[in-house]
């Protein structure tokens, strides 16, 4: 019977007069009061929004009416996909929908003029939209109707048809330069989006400032700048919900941006150029330029001084340039795509162009193309399908209510003044009631039925319509007219499909320089944390048992981590397939951080074990995500190098883990073994947020939520977790808390077998949706590799966990010295991992290497089993090195074999299967060895130390034996511990022997070295 004194349950009510309360108890009380307050506030706010809000009668999802979180999910986590959710809402609820607590969205062209009225009625913009791009002071983002009109009037004249005609020579000169660049690359694949952006950017900056960046003259066409703008705009969905982030980023000096986000440096330098140009115009006014450049006109307008400050004009410049370069270039790319994809429409267009432009080498003038009906219909149709701005257009009627009659239901709605109303160009443009076959490219529709223009929102409408639409249309007209009119001397189209094709991702499309360095650093840190959390705990376990006095639960400290890590491995693989790569990876880090925090604040073993389990869930996602990101981050030829860097970081963490764990537990508290993860994880999150952009090839597979749920195979996860937990409890109870023949232990073991059988049956039934895909597991090399990984990794982790206990208890080493004593094992394993990777890359001889590594592992593990109380230093160093050479060389072979032979689409599933068995093997064998360790120690104690109560030994911390027991009692206790430790080493030896036998059964075909290069590793 144990003499453990149970600590009282936490007090969950305030009792500040109780002086005996610990800071932890008081902290818990405060957290509970805060939680109750937050829940009360949330329930009250939800009730108001559902039943008492002015928009409570508007149709729409209840969840969207309650909270902004659905919108945040689609915008932030799914990268701006809320517009798809809005379409789904309209399909279900009708033309008027409440899409969030304070916003009503319309899908009815008849209401366009009501939402977007002319100048006669005041319309404001919401403040949050104004801050989305960090340009709240610009004319476009101006909130107040009156202030917007004043700012717009100052530049209105520059975008009239007459003004655009005056800059026709400038536009034609730039177009000629652009087509010259195209001719220089004839016969090659050309990146048109960069070429178009370079041209449109030079045009708008010349018109705005009288000078330009001259991107068309640069060899790279200003690529770094455009990549910076793309990165910035990819964050606008986040800025819409976290406006402080836009303000913070905009306020950073360029020197700091160069360090934190090098990819944005080009944008910041161009912003400085804009300000310099504004000051140049301000300080050197030129009357001749007042009518020829936008900012000369603004500075000489009647606007008051506060509208001519540098900050205000910098924001105006940013909007003018961004709108003038990016959206026009995007629409041009869309036009090229649609015309090449629809040869009938292209042929009809060319016939019209040939008649209007006799000279094929001539860049057409405005007068030649202005009145071409089919040509202008093509442009209109392109903008309909591919509007330059797909975000919903927000308006607020501050003075008057908005009345709406739903023709389908007959219901009338009255929106009070100040209601935020929106419409989306893409939603309206795809309305089949207005546009027949809306997803088809049919320019003729605009000629046959001019009335459909009433539903056109490509440039918005009303008093706040796009100011630059005349400029954009003229640029598109000149480019497309020249591009598709030109012929060479043979009469073949010069700019044919081959030339206009955007090629596969080349080396230039991958991040480089500081951006790549920072992202790789973040991935290395994530792998580092994973490995560190495994090894750092080993040297801390004896100290943890000192505090909690529960030696019988020490196996759970390691196995809980492995069990959840293995169980959720495949589910994370599915998550990276069906959910956004970036945000899924960040979620994994956050789960790991929460688990680490729980471990750090744990008041008892149970909370610590829960924290380890939570951390294991996050760790599984970090590992899978890290190697998945690497696959998209660098070109295939460099992938093995970067995978090796991550594997090396794993090894380094394994090396310093025991040292760090020992140093921390010796000098502070074991809790810092977990707290250390928090700042390192925070740095990783910050780097990924700032630098990593999800590559186009890594976009999640489109699937319904039902399909995503089934693909995650949560039933399979629950079953395998249930099986592993029942097994682990049986190992904990058996021979310690309950006899092995007790109904509880037998019931747990039977439950383990039955649940495991259910798991197997469920996985077989689930097929391709299973976390362990049966089709793959039945393949010989994967099945054998899984068994090998299970036992081989399990034996390694056993030795990792019990060697520090051996050194601290048997040899009396301090925690930090036990870490030093295990260095031979870790260093040799690291060397073997690197050497094995190089050997496989050069030779492809995987099966022979696997067999040899298992044989060396058996020999080394057998020698480690011979360790005794008086084993010399030279022997235990040599034994560790020999065993580590085997473990290190063979650790990553199964995953490299399976990845090298798997089809590309099967690589994530294959990787998840091997990692599943690798982690579950560690967890199950650690649990089994923990039971064997305690049972054997208790069995030997009565003969080696007959005068000592075994329960006292179990409840005494491992490093406190020398202080609790007398010198006469210690020898017998240490002998009993040695007997328990030898049993764990015996289990490790048996596992390596099984690995050796299994390695004989594998596929002995030589691997293609190139396939090995593209395969990743696990360590």
Q: DSSP string covering 996-1013, please?
A: HHHHTTS--PPPPHHHHH
DSSP character string of 564-632? HHHHTHHHHHHHHHHS-HHHHHHHHHHHHHHHHHHHHH-SSHHHHHHHHHHHHHHHHHHHHHHHHHHHH
Q: How far apart (Å, rounded) are the C-alpha atoms in residues 810 and 869? A: 6
pLDDT band at 4 (very low <50, low <70, confident <90, very high): very low
Q: How far apart (Å, rounded) are the C-alpha atoms in residues 346 and 641? A: 47
In percent, the amount of the chain with pLDDT more than 90 equals: 15
* Higher per-residue pLDDT: 542 or 301: 301
The CA distances from residue 120 to 110, 154, 463, 781, 968, in Å, are: 19, 19, 9, 75, 100
Mean pLDDT over residues 187-211, rounded? 82
Region for 418 from its dihedrals, namely left if φ exceeds 0, alpha if ψ lies in -120 to 50, beta otherwise: left
| Per-residue pLDDT at 2 | 41
Cα 456 versus chain centre, distance: 36
Choose from 282-291, 761-770, 1008-1017 the range with maximum mean pLDDT.
761-770
Please determine, for residue 163, whether its predicted confidence score (pLDDT) is greater than 70: yes
Degrees, nearest 5: CA angle 127-129-132: 115
Tracing tokens 């294991």 back to the chain, one arrives at 616
| Per-residue pLDDT at 917 | 84
- Chain mean pLDDT for the chain: 80
Please determine, for residue 288, whether its predicted confidence score (pLDDT) is greater than 90: no
CB 422 within 8 A of CB 392: yes
Please determine, for residue 550, whether its predicted confidence score (pLDDT) is greater than 50: yes
Please determine, for residue 687, whether its predicted confidence score (pLDDT) is greater than 60: yes
Please determine, for residue 448, whether its predicted confidence score (pLDDT) is greater than 80: yes
Backbone angles phi, psi at 459, to 5 degrees: -120, 30
Mean pLDDT over residues 282-309, rounded? 77
| Per-residue pLDDT at 21 | 52
Range of lowest pLDDT (282-286, 408-412, 981-985): 282-286
| Per-residue pLDDT at 529 | 80
Q: What is the pLDDT of residues 858-876, one digit of tens each?
A: 999 999 899 888 888 888 8
| Per-residue pLDDT at 89 | 94
Q: Where are the alpha helices (DSSP H) in 158-191?
A: 161-166, 168-184
pLDDT band at 647 (very low <50, low <70, confident <90, very high): low
pLDDT band at 849 (very low <50, low <70, confident <90, very high): confident
Structural fold of domain 145-500:
Cytochrome p450 (1.10.630)
Range of lowest pLDDT (302-311, 689-698, 966-975): 689-698
| CATH (residue range 509-713+771-1014) | 1.20.1250.20
Domain edges within the chain? 145-500, 509-713+771-1014, 714-770
Please determine, for residue 1017, whether its predicted confidence score (pLDDT) is greater than 60: no
Q: How far apart (Å, rounded) are the C-alpha atoms in residues 931 and 798? A: 13
| Sheet bearing 103-106, strands edge to edge | 96-100, 103-106, 420-423, 393-396
| Per-residue pLDDT at 997 | 92
Among 787, 541, 771, 536, residue whose Cα is nearest residue 673: 536
| Per-residue pLDDT at 506 | 46
| Per-residue pLDDT at 1014 | 52
Q: What is the pLDDT of residues 83-140, one digit of tens each?
A: 889 999 999 999 999 999 999 999 999 999 999 998 888 999 887 665 665 666 788 8
Tell whether 466 is in a known binding site.
Answer: yes
| Per-residue pLDDT at 3 | 44
Mean pLDDT over residues 148-153, rounded? 88
Q: Is 481 exposed, middle or buried, given 0-12, 13-18 or 19+ CB atoms closer than 10 A?
A: buried
Q: What is the pLDDT of residues 605-643, one digit of tens each?
A: 888 888 888 988 898 888 778 877 877 777 766 665 676
User: Per-residue b/e over 102-123, b at no fewer than 16 CB within 10 Å?
Assistant: bbbbbbbbebbebbbbeeeebb
Choose from 30-39, 440-449, 909-918 the range with maximum mean pLDDT.
440-449
Number of CB atoms found within 10 A of residue 170's CB: 15
pTM more than 0.85:
no
Which residues are paired to 735 by β-bridges? none
Tracing tokens 């419409």 back to the chain, one arrives at 423
| Per-residue pLDDT at 29 | 66
Tell me how far apart the terminal alpha carbons of the chain are, to the nearest angstrom. 44
CB 198 within 8 A of CB 178: yes
Report the interhelical angle of 893-901 vs 823-843 (nearest 10°).
20
Tracing tokens 């090995």 back to the chain, one arrives at 1012
Mean pLDDT over residues 8-31, rounded? 51
The length of the chain in residues reads 1019
Contacts of 1000 (CB under 8 A, 6+ apart): 851
CB 735 within 8 A of CB 933: no
| Per-residue pLDDT at 1019 | 42
Q: Where are the alpha helices (DSSP H) in 284-327?
A: 294-299, 310-322
Q: What is the pLDDT of residues 554-586, one digit of tens each?
A: 667 777 787 787 778 777 877 887 788 888 889
CB 60 within 8 A of CB 101: no
Please determine, for residue 802, whether its predicted confidence score (pLDDT) is greater than 50: yes
Most distant CA atoms of the chain, gap in Å: 112
Q: How far apart (Å, rounded) are the C-alpha atoms in residues 726 and 749? A: 7
Q: How far apart (Å, rounded) are the C-alpha atoms in residues 895 and 907? A: 10
Q: How far apart (Å, rounded) are the C-alpha atoms in residues 100 and 105? A: 9
Question: How does strand 412-415 pair with strand 103-106?
Answer: unpaired
| Per-residue pLDDT at 54 | 94
Please determine, for residue 24, whether its predicted confidence score (pLDDT) is greater than 70: no
Q: How far apart (Å, rounded) are the C-alpha atoms in residues 462 and 451? A: 17
| Per-residue pLDDT at 10 | 41
Q: Is 412 exposed, middle or buried, given 0-12, 13-18 or 19+ CB atoms closer than 10 A?
A: exposed
| Per-residue pLDDT at 404 | 95
Please determine, for residue 301, whether its predicted confidence score (pLDDT) is greater than 90: no
CB half-sphere exposure, 125, CA atoms < 13 A: 24
* Higher per-residue pLDDT: 555 or 587: 587
CB 907 within 8 A of CB 630: no
DSSP character string of 394-447? EEE-SSS-EEEE-TTT--EEEEPTT-EEEE-HHHHHT-TTTSSSTTS--THHHH
pLDDT band at 380 (very low <50, low <70, confident <90, very high): very high
| Per-residue pLDDT at 717 | 82
CB 166 within 8 A of CB 160: no
Which residues are paired to 426 by β-bridges? none
Token pair of 700 as six digits: 């999640």
Q: What is the pLDDT of residues 469-502, one digit of tens each?
A: 888 888 888 888 888 876 432 333 333 333 333 3
Q: What is the pLDDT of residues 42-89, one digit of tens each?
A: 889 999 999 999 999 999 999 999 999 888 888 877 777 888 899 999
* Higher per-residue pLDDT: 8 or 462: 462
Q: How far apart (Å, rounded) are the C-alpha atoms in residues 244 and 471? A: 33
């Amino acid at each position: 019977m144990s003499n453990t004194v149970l600590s009282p349950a936490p007090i969950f009510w305030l009792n500040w007069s109780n002086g005996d309360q610990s800071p932890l108890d008081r902290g818990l009380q405060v957290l509970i009061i805060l939680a109750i307050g937050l829940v009360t506030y949330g329930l009250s706010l939800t009730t108001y929004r559902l039943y008492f809000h002015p928009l409570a009668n508007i149709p729409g999802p209840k969840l969207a009416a309650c909270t902004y979180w659905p919108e945040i999910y689609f915008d932030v986590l799914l990268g701006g996909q809320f517009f798809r959710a809005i379409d789904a809402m309209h399909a279900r609820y009708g033309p008027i929908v409440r899409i969030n607590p304070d916003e009503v969205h319309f899908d009815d062209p008849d209401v366009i003029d009501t939402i977007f009225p002319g100048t006669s009625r005041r319309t404001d913009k919401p403040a949050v939209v104004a801050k989305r791009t960090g340009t709240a002071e610009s004319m476009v983002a101006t909130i107040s109707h009156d202030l917007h009109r004043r700012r717009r009037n100052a530049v209105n004249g520059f975008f009239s048809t007459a003004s655009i005609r005056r800059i026709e020579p400038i536009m034609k000169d730039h177009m000629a330069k652009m087509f010259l660049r195209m001719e220089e690359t004839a016969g090659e694949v050309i990146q048109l989006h960069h070429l178009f952006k370079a041209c449109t950017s030079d045009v708008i900056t010349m018109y705005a400032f009288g000078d330009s960046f001259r991107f068309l003259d640069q060899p790279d066409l200003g690529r770094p700048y455009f990549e910076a703008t793309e990165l910035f705009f990819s964050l606008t969905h986040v800025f819409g919900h976290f406006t402080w982030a836009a303000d913070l980023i905009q306020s950073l000096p360029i020197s700091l941006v160069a360090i934190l986000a090098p990819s944005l440096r080009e944008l910041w330098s161009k912003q400085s150029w804009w300000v310099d140009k504004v000051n140049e115009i301000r300080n050197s006014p030129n009357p001749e330029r007042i009518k020829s450049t936008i900012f000369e006109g603004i500075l000489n307008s009647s606007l008051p001084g506060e509208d001519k400050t540098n900050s205000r004009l910098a924001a105006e410049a940013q909007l003018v340039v961004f709108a003038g370069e990016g959206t026009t270039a995007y629409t041009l790319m869309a036009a090229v795509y649609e015309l090449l994809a629809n040869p009938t429409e292209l042929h009809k267009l060319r016939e019209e162009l040939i008649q209007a432009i006799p000279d094929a080498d001539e860049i057409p003038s405005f007068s030649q193309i202005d009145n071409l009906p089919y040509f202008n219909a093509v442009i209109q149709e392109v903008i309909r399908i591919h509007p330059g701005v797909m975000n919903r257009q927000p308006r607020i009627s501050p003075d008057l209510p908005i009345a709406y009659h739903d023709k389908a239901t007959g219901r009338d709605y009255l929106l009070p003044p100040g209601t935020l109303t929106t419409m989306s160009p893409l939603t309206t443009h795809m309305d089949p009631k207005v546009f027949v076959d809306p997803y088809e490219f049919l320019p003729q529709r605009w000629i046959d039925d001019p009335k459909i223009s009433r539903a056109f929102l490509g440039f918005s409408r009303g008093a706040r319509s796009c100011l630059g639409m005349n400029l954009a249309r003229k640029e598109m007209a000149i480019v497309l007219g020249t591009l598709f009119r030109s012929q060479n001397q043979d009469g073949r189209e010069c700019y044919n499909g081959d030339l206009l094709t955007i090629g596969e991702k080349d080396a230039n499309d991958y991040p480089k320089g500081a951006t790549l360095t920072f992202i790789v650093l973040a991935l290395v840190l994530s792998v580092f944390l994973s490995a560190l959390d495994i090894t750092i705990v080993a040297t801390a376990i004896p100290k943890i048992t000192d505090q909690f006095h529960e030696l019988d639960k020490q196996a759970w400290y390691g196995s809980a981590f492995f069990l959840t890590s293995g169980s959720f491995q495949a589910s994370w693989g599915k998550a990276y397939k069906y959910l956004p790569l970036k945000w899924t990876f960040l979620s994994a880090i956050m789960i790991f951080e929460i688990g680490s925090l729980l471990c750090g604040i744990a008041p008892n073993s149970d909370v610590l074990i829960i924290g380890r389990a939570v951390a294991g869930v996050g760790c599984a996602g970090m590992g899978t995500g890290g190697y998945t990101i690497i696959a998209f981050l660098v070109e295939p030829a460099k992938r093995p190098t970067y995978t090796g860097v991550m594997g090396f970081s794993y090894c380094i963490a394994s090396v310093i883990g025991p040292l760090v764990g020992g140093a921390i537990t010796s000098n502070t508290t074991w809790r810092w073994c977990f707290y250390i993860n928090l700042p390192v994880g925070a740095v990783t999150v910050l780097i990924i947020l700032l630098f990593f952009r999800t590559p186009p090839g890594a976009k999640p597979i489109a699937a319904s939520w039902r399909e995503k749920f089934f693909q995650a195979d949560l039933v399979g996860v629950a079953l395998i977790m249930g099986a592993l937990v029942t097994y682990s409890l049986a190992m904990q109870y058996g021979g310690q808390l309950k006899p092995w023949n007790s109904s509880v232990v037998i019931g747990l073991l039977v439950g383990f077998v039955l649940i495991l059988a259910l798991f197997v049956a469920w996985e077989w039934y689930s097929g391709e949706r299973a976390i362990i895909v049966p089709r793959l597991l039945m393949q010989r090399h994967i099945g054998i590799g899984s068994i090998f990984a299970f036992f081989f990794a399990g034996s390694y982790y056993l030795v990792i966990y019990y060697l520090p206990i051996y050194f601290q208890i048997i040899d009396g080493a301090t925690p930090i010295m036990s870490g030093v004593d295990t260095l031979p094992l870790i260093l040799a394993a690291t060397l073997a991992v690197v050497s094995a990777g190089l050997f496989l890359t050069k030779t492809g001889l995987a099966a022979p290497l696997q067999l040899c590594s298992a044989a060396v592992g058996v020999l080394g593990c057998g020698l480690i089993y011979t360790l005794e109380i008086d084993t010399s230093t030279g022997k235990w160093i040599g034994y560790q090195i020999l065993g580590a050479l085997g473990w290190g060389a063979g650790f990553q072979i199964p995953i490299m074999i399976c990845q090298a032979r798997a089809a590309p689409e099967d690589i994530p599933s294959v990787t998840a299967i091997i990692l599943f068995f690798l982690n579950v093997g560690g967890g199950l064998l650690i649990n089994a060895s923990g039971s064997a360790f305690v049972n054997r120690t208790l069995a030997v104690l009565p003969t080696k130390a007959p005068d000592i109560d075994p329960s006292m030994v179990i409840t005494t911390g491992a490093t406190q034996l020398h202080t609790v027991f007398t010198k006469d009692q210690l020898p017998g206790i240490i002998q009993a511990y040695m007997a328990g430790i030898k049993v764990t080493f015996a289990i490790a030896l048996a596992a390596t022997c099984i690995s050796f036998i299994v390695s004989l059964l594998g596929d002995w075909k030589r691997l293609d070295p190139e396939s090995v290069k593209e395969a990743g590793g696990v360590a």
